[in-house]
Amino acid sequence: MGRVYKTFLNGNRVFSCSGCRAHLSAHDDIVSKSFQGRTGRAYLFGKVSNVSLGPQEDRILNTGLHRVADIYCNCCQGYLGWKYEEAFEESQKYKEGKCVIERAKMVKATGWV
């Protein structure tokens, strides 16, 4: 295995992996805070960094059937949440290509006021 490429995000309000503090996403990239994950509250992000995807699978979630892939931290390989690859219901199409990260799996990086 080679060296891990790590992206550092600019800005004051950045979320990081709770396991290794790798930057995951900026506060400005939050689409919704009203999601539920395996461990509690979760946020839907339009853009994420330093993550890798697991295999795609069809999963029945609270809002119906979706094709998703679990996402993991590139640096520590910890489970973070999932990415919506495809939504089968028309009302859920806005989620496609976006990622849900569980609140318990991320922390606020330094610089929050």
Give CA–CA dist 79/21, Å, rounded: 14
pLDDT of residue 5: 83
Give CA–CA dist 21/82, Å, rounded: 19
pLDDT band at 98 (very low <50, low <70, confident <90, very high): very high
pLDDT band at 113 (very low <50, low <70, confident <90, very high): low
Taking a C-beta distance cutoff of 8 angstroms, is the pair 89, 63 a contact? yes
- Count other C-beta atoms under 10 Å from residue 88's C-beta: 11
pLDDT of residue 12: 84
Tens digit of each residue's pLDDT (9 = 90 or more) over 6-52: 899 988 899 999 999 999 999 999 999 999 999 999 999 999 999 99
